[in-house]
Structure formats: C-alpha cells, structure tokens
Amino acid sequence: MTAGAARRFDEALASSPAELAGPELLPARLARACARALEVDGAGLSLHVGVLRTPIGASDAVTAHAERLQFTIGDGPCLRAHDDGAEIAFAMEDIERNWPQLWASLRSDTSYRGVLSVPLPPPMGPLVVLDLYVRDPATLPELDRGDVHAVARSATAELALTVTGPEFPDDGSSWLDGPDARRRAHVWQAMGLVGIASGLDATDAIATMRAAAITTGRVVDDVAEDLVAGRLVPADLQAAPGPEDAAG
C-alpha cells in the first residue's frame, strides 16, 4: 500500500492550486497532499524549536484553526508527539480525558473527532510534526501506518530540498514567510510586550496570554494581534493563575 500512498501524494502535490504556488506556501501544498494521499479530513505541519511552535502549513482553514486551538491550550497531541518523538493517535475520548478544554474547543469550533500526530523522519523530524485530523474517529485505527510513514517520508524529502544552509530553520527556506507562520510571529512579539510590561519571563507571559484567550473564548493568535496593534495593552490581561491559586 505504501507505493500507492506515495503516488497519490505526488499526484496531489502536482495538482496544487495556483494560489498555493509561492515558495513560502510549500508546507501548505504538502499538507494538502498529505490529506489527499491518506484520505483524511485535514492535515497540518508545525515547526517546534525550543519553546516556540509555529504552524507552517495546513490543508484548509479549519485545520489551521484546530492548530491554533491546540496552541492556545498549550498542550495536545501535536506537542505530545514532538516531546515523545513518536506518533500518537488520539480519538476524541482520549483528547477529552487528557485535555478537556481542547476537547470542548474542537467539538464547538470544528468537526474533527480524532487526530494522529506524526513527527516527520530526519532530517526534518522531530522538529516538524504532521497532524492528521479525521471527523470519524473510527477511521484512525484503519489508517495504514505504512501509508502514513510513506507520506511522511515524501513530505520530508520535499521540505529537505528547500533547506539551503546549516542553520535550520533560519536558512532562507521561506517557510516562516507563510501566512500562518507570520501570524504566529505576532504571538512572540506580543509575548515580549507582556513580559516587559509585567516583569514576566517568557513562560509566564505566554501563560498570561493563553489565560486571556481562554477566558474570552478566543485563540492566542487573536489576542496577540490585538496587543501588537494596540487594541489591547498588557495591563488589560489578567495574570495567569499560579500554583497557589489552583491550590486554593
């Protein structure tokens, strides 16, 4: 089955729409090809460097939003797969048990009910993780893992062609120039604004932004855009609860 999956990937990539033609949109083209080759409902690619997580491409707008929901919660299948360096499948009951806030958000904001998170093989992995979303969780066990690995290898090979220097990912590959990545860059800019204004380190600053987003039913990316644009100021954000608050 793996040869068929790789062929479907190549065919889907070759038929990418004209609006995805730019070099900065290669990850979006690859995500779309992954979804089509594996016959899942959505696929997304994200880059993990230290504490930073950056979406570099999604097959569609709903999948891009699902990534933002995971990022807002601050944990989820994708981050777990990156940390463990291994693929992890989560049906909705698994997400509900491990991350009830993420479960509620996915149920209310998307039609997805399961996700398989797969770190790409070297040289891109485990820094780059592929998320595969399905509406019917029963399809997750039916996904041929050989097909998944074949598609992940194909995506890695395409990404590797754009790596031009030793300073991956800051090597001129233009992945970080895509719309989702540029939007996430506002989060790191806003994190600095909150940290300086409130005397917080990076961890507490992003926690404060996440708490503000969750409290208002938004995603962190939206809060960050408002901070960078001046529609919000750091003083508008309530500090994230500390351990002593949780204990109380």
Alpha helices, DSSP H, located in 125-170: 145-160
Instruction: Count how many domains the chain has.
Output: 2
Same domain, 60 and 162: yes
Structural domain for 205, as ranges: 180-242
**Rounded-to-integer distance, Cα 200 and Cα 198, Å:** 5
- Which of 194, 214, 211, 203 lies closest to 245, judged by CA? 211
Same domain, 66 and 131: yes
Same domain, 156 and 73: yes
**Rounded-to-integer distance, Cα 106 and Cα 67, Å:** 10
**Rounded-to-integer distance, Cα 36 and Cα 148, Å:** 12
Residue 173's pLDDT is what?
A: 65
Same domain, 39 and 84: yes
Strands in 114-119's sheet, in edge-to-edge order, are 52-58, 42-49, 128-134, 114-119, 88-91
Residue 41 in any domain: the answer is: yes
Same domain, 74 and 118: yes
Same domain, 142 and 203: no
Task: Indicate the SS3 state at residue 219.
Answer: coil
pTM: 0.88
Pairing state between β 52-58 and 42-49: antiparallel
Do 224 and 190 meet the contact criterion of CB atoms below 8 Å apart?
yes
Same domain, 105 and 225: no
CATH of the domain at 83: 3.30.450.40
Same domain, 203 and 235: yes
Same domain, 65 and 151: yes
Give whole-number Cα distances, 199 to 82, 189, 195, 202, in Å. Answer: 30, 15, 5, 10
Do 40 and 134 meet the contact criterion of CB atoms below 8 Å apart?
yes
Same domain, 146 and 29: yes
Same domain, 141 and 193: no
- Which of 95, 32, 88, 37 lies closest to 62, judged by CA? 32
Chain-centre distance of CA 226, in angstroms? 21
Q: What is the CB neighbour count within 10 angstroms for residue 209?
A: 25
Q: Provide the residue-wise pLDDT of the chain in tens; the chain has 248 residues.
A: 467 899 999 999 999 999 998 889 999 999 999 999 999 999 999 998 876 789 999 999 999 999 999 999 888 777 777 777 777 777 778 888 888 888 888 889 999 998 898 999 988 878 899 999 999 988 888 889 999 999 999 999 999 888 766 666 555 568 888 999 999 999 999 999 999 999 999 989 999 999 999 999 999 999 999 999 999 999 988 754 444 443 43
